[in-house]
A and B are shown apart, each in its own frame.
Chain A
């Protein structure tokens, strides 16, 4: 026999609590949406390196979540001096100024050196080979025009919620930029 209270309440106590909590939670979510709405942005952002803050350590090569870092060296040809003795290309004391591996600063030989006209040589980065170790960037910035610099390549970057290189960057050079202008390219030397 099913014994029911004489006057069953239209809403049980538990149901009432549940409905009330749900309403409160919805209000809370709405409030959250309101607060965030004023601050949130429809503009998607992506990570990028500010070349003026980059200290040319080698952490970009090793701390990216990708096996081969999304950070690569970029060459702003407009400010390159096309030097024959490129300090971004050659080791400090090269035995000869040629493309021999022992003379190259780049550990993966990612910089291609080609003769343009006397006495100018063109340097082009092979991004397939570049590992973002910043050795050439250091050489170019220290003694040259600084036309080599590191940038996050967005065809590789997976745009992590928090960039794992940014966490360990000694120069605090990583920041989020608007997706419409995803690169911070150098236009002037240094």
Chain B
């Protein structure tokens, strides 16, 4: 009781009594958050409001008002949440004298209404006019850090791409690539915290293409286009030493093991699936999964959820033994670069002049990207089997795409749950069907209250998004089928190679193989031509030619 008296004393100290400051009993027309509270306060679901934190958070005046309303409505039992004995002092307050306080409170309510209407546009407690010469503290607004960096970022990206291409294709220097990798990890990684990055830019581009109201920042556009444009000419020089994700894994590489071909090729489809899923979710405005589940950005930030930090550490540990696991088996931007570098103008060549077929480069490549020379078929009849298989696979692709599309469409309803609007609409309609007593006010219940303001708009919006997902599911599945089909075809197609050559698509241009080549070592003067184990280069055998 002592505390109560003190509070009352405190209340009387205030210039405007507390009870004047309450919102007017009629629901306010504001469509926003405050309106929700207004509705909750004044209409049926009042109990919700009072339960936050299992603690009655009403002030004295508020309590007086609630009691006044109850007196007016003659329905005190409608409001069970505030009556229980968590409020013993106020109970004592009411039971002391029943009649006069009621009258007084009703008068208070009437007065309050008058004042509340009069002061509707004003604030509850007008700012005081200080006499002591007190100066209002300024609200600090620290500026964002990003602004000056965006030009620098793009300039550094372009410079690093040019340098990486030069180092790999012209200078053929592993040390240069290594130095540039360290720079990229430091600059794009630890300094710029892995954001902005080309991998995540896929989602912005996808959203920008499908949602005309979304404006893609030009920095993001530059980060998306520049590495792809470079890959069309110089191969994956971006992966080699510019991408901080790749460079970090590359620097971690310690004792590479060979991934069996079947596993390598099988997992090689994953990036395309990931790319499709990321584009689908971004284009529908649902989620940016590439950013959300990026394993390395939390490491660069040295901050993040435990799960993602652990995933990042796991990837790095794996990267010590399996070269660049993220780049090879997950990276969606790597999938695009893979396609682009298939048609690149220049390519990484292991040997400066002619190949000894010593296989040393194949051993040196930690990513299994170097392929052995092919043997030409001895007779054209030998090709018939290959061509039949190719024809079957070509016929299979549409079937795969159809099957994938059907599969994708089956997944679309589940996938649409990832969209916040759809998820909210689902929860709302579930709540409408089978009302669950919402206990303590949570973020979920607040969201449901927001949904209750305009359920029709929400539901129609959710249905629209779900329709998009249905179409997107077919497209995603079709893309998946196409990726699997293309992979099978690429395995079935007969390529002609005279020498050991890096595969255009899967070579990361890390420049490791150069120094393994005896001819390159001779060229660099590291080795003399006559030394045993490095026979003089022979002309490439003629038999390697194939009809195509």
Which residues on A are within 8 Å of B, measured CB to CB? 1-3, 13-14, 17-19, 21-22, 25-26, 29, 32-33, 35-37, 39-46, 52-59, 65-67, 74-85, 87, 92-97, 116-117, 119-120, 122, 124, 138-139, 141-146, 153-155, 157-162, 164, 167-168, 170-173, 179, 182-183, 185, 188-190
A-side contacts of B137, CB under 8 Å: 75, 77, 122, 124
Cα A113 to Cα B221 in complex, Å, equals: 48
A-side contacts of B37, CB under 8 Å: 141-142
The residue from B124, B217, B219, B447 contacting A171, defined by CB atoms under 8 A apart:
B447
A-side contacts of B200, CB under 8 Å: 161
12 contacts between A and B (CB under 8 A): A21-B343, A22-B343, A22-B344, A42-B217, A56-B33, A65-B301, A77-B139, A79-B123, A85-B11, A120-B128, A182-B141, A189-B124
B143: nearest chain-A partner, CB-CB = A154
CB distance from A35 to the nearest CB of B (A): 7
The residue from A119, A161, A173 contacting B288, defined by CB atoms under 8 A apart:
A161
B146–A46 CB distance below 8 A: yes
B36–A97 CB distance below 8 A: no
CB distance from B421 to the nearest CB of A (A): 9
Residues of B190-225 at the interface with A, using a CB-CB cut-off of 8 Å, are: 193, 195-196, 200, 203-205, 208-209, 212, 214-221, 225
A55–B450 CB distance below 8 A: yes
B-side contacts of A74, CB under 8 Å: 139
CB distance from A80 to the nearest CB of B (A): 7
CB distance from B425 to the nearest CB of A (A): 13
Residues of B99-146 at the interface with A, using a CB-CB cut-off of 8 Å, are: 123-128, 130-132, 134, 136-139, 141-146
The residue from A21, A40, A167 contacting B215, defined by CB atoms under 8 A apart:
A40
B-side contacts of A117, CB under 8 Å: 130-132, 134
Cα A2 to Cα B232 in complex, Å, equals: 32
Once A82-B128, A161-B200 are accepted as A-B contacts, the answer to whether A167 and B343 lie under 8 Å apart by CB is no
Q: Which of B193, B196, B343 has the most chain A CB atoms inside 10 A of its CB? A: B343
Q: Which of A25, A55, A97, A116 has the most chain B CB atoms inside 10 A of its CB? A: A55
Residues of B46-92 at the interface with A, using a CB-CB cut-off of 8 Å, are: 52, 55-59, 62
The residue from B125, B304, B444 contacting A83, defined by CB atoms under 8 A apart:
B125
Assess whether B18 is interfacial by the CB under 8 Å rule.
yes
Cα A59 to Cα B303 in complex, Å, equals: 18
